[in-house]
Every structure is written in structure tokens, then in C-alpha cells.
Chains A and B, each alone.
Chain A
Amino acid sequence: DAKTTQPTSMDCAEGRAANLPCNHSTISGNEYVYWYRQIHSQGPQYIIHGLKNNETNEMASLIITEDRKSSTLILPHATLRDTAVYYCIVRGVYNQGGKLIFGQGTELSVKP
């Protein structure tokens, strides 16, 4: 599975959109982009995933560039409870059900 690069930390004002970037320049055509988050001292929580098209669910939106080399997770109206470490993970379609390799992630701090 391809490697990802994320900023170490980001701040966001409460109520504003949080845009978390992820670079995956070596992604191949059969690899998904997954996003998880981990609130302090809890297990990771699945947020969203996508292959080529942009995706949206009740938690967030995922924007994937046309060349698929990068993506952005958008939390439209960040709240204090969104403070967490956000992990961007690339995972092969043939590795569904397989292991997830976590990088360092982005520590998002939502401030009042």
C-alpha cells in the first residue's frame, strides 16, 4: 500500500471548516484512500473512504484530486469534539479486510 504524508498539526476555529490535506503521490489505480480519527485514549474511528470520486457522509467530505496524488478531508463545521489525530491511509482494493498501516497523522486542535 502506498505511503501518505500529512502535516503534523493544524488548528481550526470552532464552527469553521477544517481542511486536512494528505499527499499520496505513489498511489496506484487500485488503491483506496481511507480516513480515520483517534480521539485521545480511544480507539480509532472510521470517517470516510474513496477511490476516485469525491465522497460525502454525515461526518465529512473527501475531495480527491483528479490525478489521485492527494486528497483533502473536510469537516464542514468543526466542533471542539472534533479535536483528534486524523489518519489518512491508502489501502489496496485487493487488501480489503487486510491490515491498516497507520502513519503519524495530523493532530487537529479545534479552538473556541
Chain B
Amino acid sequence: GAVVSQHPSRVICKSGTSVKIECRSLDFQATTMFWYRQFPKQSLMLMATSNEGSKATYEQGVEKDKFLINHASLTLSTLTVTSAHPEDSSFYICSGVGAAPYEQYFGPGTRLTVT
């Protein structure tokens, strides 16, 4: 199957700083990428849909000014958590959608810890 990578795999940052997470489709072009967040013992929660060359669409309750998404190319989407706080500590997972049959391939996730 197609491969999606994320970088970094884990990051620790101080409260008030910003952190950027990269999501890359390595062997396919992804016109659409999705960003999810997962807290311990909970399911994945969709945060936003990222389309190449256009603004991201955020799910209800997700602050677009806090979680900045950029999808500048068909193989790269980035999520920037701005002014991070301890409650933003979570497991962030991205996915990319390729051509037909439009399967969704997930990255390995990024563990963010805000101290």
C-alpha cells in the first residue's frame, strides 16, 4: 500500500511556543489530506480536511487560528500548533487520499507533549 510519513515522530515543547508537524505522501500524490487528533484511551477525532492549493476546512470546535494547516504541494501538508498549551498534548495523525479507488492511508502519528 501507499506510504505516508510524519515528522517528527515525537516532540516536546514549552507552553506558549509553536510546533510544526509535517505529513508527506511518499509514493503517491494526495490532493486531499486529513488531520486527526487522539487523546489517550479515545478514538481518532477529525480536526480538518486539507486540500492542495486551497484553504483547509476545519471541523466544528477546532480553532483554525490555533491549528494552522498548509497543503502547498501534492505530497506535503503541515500542521502548526500555535501558542501550544499542555491541553494540546496529544497524538496527531495525518492521512492522505490517492487516486481511485480513493483509499485513505495514514501516517504513523506524532506525539506532542507540551510542558
Q: Please report A residues at the B interface, Cβ cutoff 8 Å.
A: 38, 41-46, 87, 96-97, 99-105
CA A46 – CA B95 in complex, angstroms? 11
B46 CB to closest chain A CB (Å) equals 6
Question: Which chain A residues border B32 with CB–CB below 8 Å?
Answer: 97
Q: Please report B residues at the A interface, Cβ cutoff 8 Å.
A: 1, 4, 6, 32, 34, 36, 43-46, 49, 91, 93, 95, 97, 100-109, 111
Contact indicator B108/A42 (Cβ below 8 Å): yes
Q: Of the candidates A41, A96, A99, A104, which one forms a contact with B34 in the assembled complex, judged by CB atoms under 8 Å apart?
A: A99
A57 CB to closest chain B CB (Å) equals 11
CA A44 – CA B107 in complex, angstroms? 8
A6 CB to closest chain B CB (Å) equals 11
Q: Of the candidates A38, A96, A102, A104, which one forms a contact with B101 in the assembled complex, judged by CB atoms under 8 Å apart?
A: A96
CA A101 – CA B105 in complex, angstroms? 14
CA A96 – CA B103 in complex, angstroms? 8
Contact indicator B104/A100 (Cβ below 8 Å): yes
Answer whether A43 and B106 are a contact pair too, CB < 8 Å, given A96-B101, A97-B97. Answer: yes
